């Protein structure tokens, strides 16, 4: 059997025990490995922060764009509501005018066909012309003027004050 050699090299034997330099190298390697792991972790964290910052910037720009769009839409909504109010008044007025026109046309139709009372039939006068026209047979009517209407001289006649006089009625 061979006996192990026990040579002294740098104050330590080389027989199975580690040299203090190797221990230091391993310690340094472990520190270096830990530092690399920390560097990788910090790089991942930095990348994560960059992604979050870019997402935040994107959300912020989207928010600013939405605020601008909301301002435009709000302004257009206000204009539309104002126009709707104006049109609503015109439509209501138009409804009243059309109701009145319908009643007048209905009474006129009844008068022309003999279904109305005689006092209304007297008010309708057909349009006459001094010369013959193609529209002679279309039964056109003449709109009565207040001075030629029979009610202008009756008990409900409206009389204007003479020139230079003052009306005392209110």
Q: Tell me, yes or no, whether 159 lies in a domain.
A: no
Predicted local confidence at residue 147, as pLDDT? 60
Segments forming the whole domain that contains residue 101: 18-121
Query: Across residues 88-97, what is the average pLDDT?
Result: 89
Q: Tell me, yes or no, whether 167 lies in a domain.
A: no
Predicted local confidence at residue 152, as pLDDT? 52
Q: What is the pLDDT of residues 130-154, one digit of tens each?
A: 777 666 566 666 655 656 555 455 5
- The answer to whether the beta carbons of residues 30 and 21 sit under 8 Å apart is no
Cα atoms found within 13 Å of the Cα of residue 39, Cβ hemisphere only: 6
Q: Tell me, yes or no, whether 165 lies in a domain.
A: no
DSSP 8-state assignment for residue 12: E
Cα atoms found within 13 Å of the Cα of residue 41, Cβ hemisphere only: 6
Show Cβ contacts of residue 5 under 8 Å, excluding neighbours closer than 6 positions.
15
What would the two tokens of residue 155 be? Answer: 């008990």
Number of domains within the chain: 1
- The answer to whether the beta carbons of residues 152 and 165 sit under 8 Å apart is no
User: pLDDT-based confidence at 163, cuts 50/70/90?
Assistant: very low
Q: Tell me, yes or no, whether 77 lies in a domain.
A: yes
């Amino acid at each position: 059997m061979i006996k192990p050699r026990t040579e002294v090299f740098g104050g330590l034997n080389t027989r199975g025990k580690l040299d203090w330099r190797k221990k230091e190298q391993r310690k340094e390697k472990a520190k270096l490995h830990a530092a690399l792991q920390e560097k990788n972790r910090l790089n991942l964290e930095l990348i994560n922060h960059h992604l979050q910052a870019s997402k935040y910037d994107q959300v912020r720009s989207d928010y600013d764009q939405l605020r601008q769009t909301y301002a435009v839409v709000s302004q257009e909504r206000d204009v539309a509501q104002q126009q709707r109010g104006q049109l609503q008044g015109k439509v209501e007025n138009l409804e009243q005018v059309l109701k009145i026109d319908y009643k007048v046309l209905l009474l006129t139709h009844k008068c022309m066909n003999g279904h109305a009372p005689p006092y209304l039939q007297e008010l309708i006068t057909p349009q006459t012309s001094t010369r013959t026209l193609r529209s002679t047979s279309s039964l056109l009517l003449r709109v009565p003027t207040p001075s030629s209407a029979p009610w202008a001289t009756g008990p409900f006649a409206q009389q204007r004050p003479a020139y230079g006089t003052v009306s005392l009625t209110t």
